[in-house]
Structure 1
């Protein structure tokens, strides 16, 4: 076994690899860009080396700097994780040239299987069925269009290099082929440095099933069963599970053998995944899609049902060990399901989000595992992949695993960064998912019903109560830093739990209970604005019986509840608190000023809102439409200039963040009166990019 291994990656996969290195007694070396100087993987490694500024091309993708870091720290091997350089044959060869062991397959196998066109030809030669599609590499745009017409619509455009759904485009309308090819090439070039495309027949309502293989350098190859990865958005997996409910033992064995043959065809060594597309109505008609020559994001579900540590076996195989087991020794026990937590906002079309992790709770138990790169204080920016962590649940059967994962997602709190945790929890409760009736289009079809369209009343109530509590003074002579309410009808006592000293005195005139001389208690208004939504006013009034009334500006009757308990803010940390509203108890984790709230896996961003300032801002832009950045990122394309006339729906700019492109289009016909960005400009969420003066105003 190696003495020292450099982990050439970041985030949750770097933390995951370091965990196994520590268990094996192997010294770990982390690398980091300036953006990650205080990241969790840096703190957990035995040593860490700075490799450059934040852009990945100047740090995590710099082969020269990674090799320098390995040489400086005496590393004998490099683990690439996944993403970045994990499937880069040039990096594997550079490691070998530098005398380092690349913990992965041989460079020739990476090169062969990394070219999807050559990969299909290779596995087809050994009898593995493949998806019908274009043949040959280096096809021009015109040749791709001709191939698509010959195959018949709909078709799937795919980059020949890379994976993870980046650059993939489903095209149903032949008239859109030219634009989609251009967009796919642009995204593939940005993600993989190679814009070669192929086109394949699209299988409607397919299931995505992949087989985990493990091979040593002595000719032994086994498969570790399958993973169902059919729940996807934009060709990106969001939920994975093992085993699949679709396969019977005969089909599992046949697909497993096909995967083993695919691995043998390229001289594979280490852990890899062979991916198949499977018609849901005929599981026996499976087609090879591609082989991922690396560890997969979803590898934990296989680990939980087999009892094997795949990272450990990557290391042992790379060190020259033989697999001590054959295919008959592999058993699948129980069921495991994984959910990918990503920095994205489901309510805003799943656009990438960002921010600072203000409070963090990630479940861990005997049956729930969280693989994460997060810690409190982590800055989530737009430079890297949006996946933050993975929550994985195990059970003796699928219903138990699903139930445990839903509970774990409800418990997950990532305050300060909007995530998809709540969306995933609702997805896992969808009747089709519970029944195992899956396909790769299910999420897109059902997305509207799975996204929380509005902030629930209890969230506004919680934020308002916290803001209201902050108005009240602390009882003199106490050391508790809890926020507190004066209990209506009992001036001089604190309503918060945990206050010390029953005789502590509070000035009754500073208690925010709405008391007025000679009149009924008045409402105290708190104005809040969820991210990307209109402001909401919540009025709070203490009642004579020690409770509270809340009035939202939605025309509904007042809500009756209790004062929150356990509101605390020591050292700036968030706290958990509970209150009852209309007979239901709600528990949240939040900062004491009510800015961030977590609820059943959702994180709600509620800022204090000044309605006067908002009306002045709105008046300043009256008559024009400002186009703002839908996410923090970088402007990559600018297609117009000031003074240009544009048509409604015309593409004007492209903003990229976390490897995702978002096209900014004209909301109406008009003239570009302001343009505040150029290609390469870094922008914040909601930053003004351009202003379009409507055509009717110009002629008025």
Structure 2
């Protein structure tokens, strides 16, 4: 085993790998950018090295700086985690050239499977069924569009070099192909440095099922069962579970063998995942999609259900076996020694705001409580004081539950998400809790489009009255006089007036829309909670600064000054201002001051946490102001442009 391993990643990924290194007695080296100088993974490692400024291209994606850090700390091996350079063949080769062991597959396997076009051709030759789609690499926009029309709409555009759903576009209308191909290329280029695309037939109501494989350097390859990853939003997995309720033992064995053959076809070594698309109505008709040549985010559910020979479930550590295989060890078990016991399910907690269309969020973690207990595991990179910015992936943590059956695991996970408190940053924890209670999810009737179809019923933009009651209670308590002895009646927030009827004490508050709220319940406050009894019902919230949280949801309740708000709004009287929907960076500007624009025309693109958001004209008009250029960093709600409406829209239409 190695003495020292450098972890070339950040956040919960690095924390997870460091945990296994510590259990094996291996010295861990963390790396960090300026944005992560006080991050949890930096504090938990045995040593840490600064590798550059905040932008990933100048730090976490800099092969040269990572190798310098390894040399300075005496590392013998590099673990790439499961992001950034984990599937970068050039990085794997650079490690080998520097005399370092890359804890992952050979560079040739990464290169082959990282090219989705070559990967499909390779596994097809090995007898693995693949999704019908375009053939050949380096297709032009016109060739991609022609292939899409030949396959038949709808189709899926996919970056050849990518993964994680980034750059993928589902296109149902052939008229949208040109725009969607352009957007997919931009996102692929930004995420992977390669804008090569392919197009595949879209399988209606598909299920996404993947097989975990493990291979050593001695010719042994096994699979560790499947994970159901069909609950997705924008092609990003949000809930994963093992095993899948869709597969019977015969189909599971067949898909597992196909995954093993796919791994053998590229000379794989280490932990990897073979992903399949499965028609929900016919599980036996499965198709290879791609192979992820790294450890997956969702690997904990496999660790919790796999039993080896006579061992108990939950005793497998895939990071440990990555290390052992990289160190030259042979797998000590065969396929027949592996069984699945019980059920595990995982939720990805991300920095995003469901009430604002799941736009990326940011801020400082003011209050943190992560669930624990029997059958509960939390993989996290958070701590109180963590600054969540827009430069990196939005995933903050994973909450995983294990039970003897699926119903128990779901119940435990919903309870764990209700206990999750991350105040200061909006997350999707409450949304995930509601999703897990959806009848189709409970019944196991899943497909990759379920979340998008049902999202409106799972997201509420209404603010419960008790949220305002709790916020007003905190402000009311702050007005209470402190100290002992005589109290000036004018200083007591009771509404008392000399010679008059007491007037209720009200507060101007704002979550989304401003309201004037007068508290009418009873309250009890501690340092971090506020309990309100409203209409005979008791509600308990966690609190920090202006934040109120309950059952995984959170609201930022701020004081509202109606006079100041009216003065601010006067700046753009008679015009419409376009504001940034999230903190991020402007990547595309398509207009200039004075340009005439039509309603719905794309004007700007803002990118945050590897996600693009198009800013469109709210109506026909003229660009009166343009306050940004490509590369401008913007805050949430910052004014980007002002569009003056046309004076006579009815005549313009004629």
* TM-score by shorter chain over 0.5: yes
Unaligned ranges ≥5, structure 2: 307-313
**Alpha-carbon distance in 1 for matches of 2:547, 2:648:** 40
User: 1:589 aligned to 535, 542, 556, which one?
Assistant: 542
1:513-662 mapped onto 2 (5 Å cutoff): 513-530=494-511, 533-540=512-519, 549=520, 561-566=521-526, 568=527, 575-591=528-544, 593=545, 595-662=546-613
How many residues align structurally? 643
Structure 1 residue 517, shift from structure 2 partner: 3.7
Structure 1 residue 525, shift from structure 2 partner: 1.4
1:311-326 mapped onto 2 (5 Å cutoff): 311-326=319-334
2:302 aligned with 1:349: no
Structure 1 residue 620, shift from structure 2 partner: 2.5
Residues 87 and 162 of structure 1 are in contact (CA less than 8 Å); yes or no, is this contact kept in structure 2? no
1:7-156 mapped onto 2 (5 Å cutoff): 7-156=7-156
**Alpha-carbon distance in 1 for matches of 2:523, 2:177:** 59
**Alpha-carbon distance in 1 for matches of 2:500, 2:434:** 47
**Alpha-carbon distance in 2 for matches of 1:270, 1:231:** 27
Residues 565 and 577 of structure 1 are in contact (CA less than 8 Å); yes or no, is this contact kept in structure 2? yes
**Alpha-carbon distance in 2 for matches of 1:406, 1:509:** 47
Unaligned ranges ≥5, structure 1: 477-503, 541-548, 550-560, 569-574
**Alpha-carbon distance in 2 for matches of 1:152, 1:412:** 45
SS at match of 1:536: strand
Structure 1 residue 599, shift from structure 2 partner: 1.2
- Segment of structure 1 superposing worse, 612-621 or 1-10: 612-621
Structure 1 residue 511, shift from structure 2 partner: 2.3
* Structure 1 segments (4+ residues) deviating >6 Å: 697-700
- Segment of structure 1 superposing worse, 84-93 or 614-623: 614-623
Task: Map Cα deviations across residues 472-514 of structure 1 (whole Å, 9 max, x no partner).
Answer: 12234xxxxxxxxxxxxxxxxxxxxxxxxxxx77555422122
**Alpha-carbon distance in 1 for matches of 2:371, 2:136:** 48
SS at match of 1:331: strand
2:472 aligned with 1:512: no
Residues 523 and 530 of structure 2 are in contact (CA less than 8 Å); yes or no, is this contact kept in structure 1? no
Residues 216 and 321 of structure 1 are in contact (CA less than 8 Å); yes or no, is this contact kept in structure 2? yes
Alignment correspondent of 1:493: none
SS at match of 2:330: coil
Alignment correspondent of 2:447: 439
Give the TM-score normalised by the residue count of structure 1. 0.91
**Alpha-carbon distance in 2 for matches of 1:468, 1:386:** 35
2:401 aligned with 1:393: yes
Alignment correspondent of 1:301: 301
Residues 475 and 505 of structure 1 are in contact (CA less than 8 Å); yes or no, is this contact kept in structure 2? no
2:335 aligned with 1:384: no
**Alpha-carbon distance in 2 for matches of 1:104, 1:423:** 34
Residues 489 and 496 of structure 2 are in contact (CA less than 8 Å); yes or no, is this contact kept in structure 1? no
Distance 1:505 1:80, change over 3 A: farther
SS at match of 2:83: coil
**Alpha-carbon distance in 2 for matches of 1:507, 1:396:** 62
Alignment correspondent of 1:219: 219
2:431 aligned with 1:423: yes
Give the TM-score normalised by the residue count of structure 2. 0.97
Alignment correspondent of 2:372: 364
Structure 1 residue 84, shift from structure 2 partner: 0.5
**Alpha-carbon distance in 2 for matches of 1:458, 1:229:** 36
Alignment correspondent of 1:6: 6
Alignment correspondent of 1:178: 178
**Alpha-carbon distance in 2 for matches of 1:564, 1:267:** 63
**Alpha-carbon distance in 1 for matches of 2:522, 2:40:** 39
SS at match of 1:524: coil
SS at match of 1:131: coil
Residues 362 and 390 of structure 2 are in contact (CA less than 8 Å); yes or no, is this contact kept in structure 1? yes
**Alpha-carbon distance in 1 for matches of 2:24, 2:487:** 58
Residues 110 and 293 of structure 1 are in contact (CA less than 8 Å); yes or no, is this contact kept in structure 2? yes
Residues 390 and 583 of structure 2 are in contact (CA less than 8 Å); yes or no, is this contact kept in structure 1? yes
SS at match of 1:316: helix
CA-atom RMSD in angstroms:
1.3
**Alpha-carbon distance in 1 for matches of 2:453, 2:268:** 38
2:278 aligned with 1:278: yes
Task: Map Cα deviations across residues 335-390 of structure 1 (whole Å, 9 max, x no partner).
Answer: 11100011111111111010111110001123111111111111111000011111
**Alpha-carbon distance in 2 for matches of 1:682, 1:446:** 34
